[in-house]
Amino acid sequence: MTTHSRRRLLQALAAGTAAYTVPGLFAEALKTTVSLGEGPFYPDKMPLDTDNDLLVLNEGITPAIGEIAYVSGRVLTKSGEPLRNGYVEIWQTDTNGSYLHSGGRNIGGYDSNFQGYGRFVTDSKGQYFFRTIKPVEYTLQGAFRCPHIHFAISKSGHRLIATQMLIKGHPANERDGIVKSNRAKGEMLESVMVDFKPVASSKLKEYTANWDIVVGRTAEEMEDGTLGIGLGKPDRPRFNPPKAKK
């Protein structure tokens, strides 16, 4: 598939994410998504390909190994407004439990065809979209983790939240140290538990996962560069988000 064809496919799929969102959310019904942190394996060297299709690298013809997942949703403020031109990053392991990070490779090797990291700028409705693999459980450096995808949201050069999408109802959740520690603190982990639903019409084993992320800021606060980022301390972002096209 050419770059142009891939771009058209992803744009069409991204446009369809509106069908999975819940319209008319009231501000009082919105609960801020729990921040679970970015973990130690945010890429220490960015791949050459950083688009929102993690299954195919550049012009490669061999896709990554794994069950395909179409991950979509909206980024909203605590007052219910869509986060326009927000910068969404995701990263996760391949099916071997290996990250893109140089210190995050597992003993089982790694899938060289898996991008491992992707970016997306939200549209006027706050929508984002990724094509990736359904996350898998793994043990890395002696630590067990349930299946998850790391998310980070930035706006106007400020990191608003770093958290993790977990699979709702997955049995490995109960063995995960991060899940246990946050439940002990009384955190509302329901905000990060997401259904992965099989695509009924697909001949492949594909899933859709829709997740609306609510950041603990209003639009006015996010535009104010004097405020700290959502992780609780002022800091510089890891990179400067690209300027939105007018």
> In a structure prediction context, what are the per-residue pLDDT tens digits for the chain, which is 246 residues long?
445 445 544 554 554 544 444 444 444 558 999 999 999 999 999 988 999 999 998 878 899 999 999 999 999 999 899 999 999 999 999 999 999 999 999 988 999 999 999 999 999 999 999 999 999 999 999 999 999 999 999 998 899 999 999 999 999 999 999 999 999 999 889 999 999 999 988 878 899 999 999 998 766 666 654 433 332 233 333 333 444 443
Phi and psi angles of residue 22, each rounded to the nearest 5 degrees, phi first: -100, 110
150 catalytic? Reply is yes
Give phi and psi for 152, each to the nearest 5: -140, 135
Burial 177-190 (b: 16+ CB within 10 A, else e): ebbeebeeeeeebe
Q: Kindly give the residue spans of alpha helices, DSSP state H, lying in 62-163.
A: none
pLDDT at 216: 86
Q: Measured between alpha carbons, how far is 241 from 87 in angstroms, rounded to an integer?
A: 6
Catalytic annotation, pick one of 148, 159, 170, 217: 148
pLDDT at 205: 86
pLDDT recorded at residue 59: 78
Is the domain spanning 3-216 CATH 2.60.130.10? The answer is: yes
Taking Cα atoms as reference points, which of 143, 155, 9, 131 lies closest to residue 69?
131
Which of the residues 145, 158, 159, 170 is marked catalytic? 145
Q: Residue 106 and residue 99: Cα distance in Å, rounded?
A: 8
- Write down the domain spans for the chain: 3-216
Query: Which entry of 138, 159, 170, 217 is annotated as an active-site residue?
Result: 138
| Catalytic position from the list 70, 74, 87, 99 | 99
Residue 87 designated active-site: no
Q: Is 138 in the active site?
A: yes
Instruction: Read off the pTM.
Output: 0.81
- pLDDT value, residue 215: 95
pLDDT score at 229: 35
CB 132 within 8 A of CB 118: yes
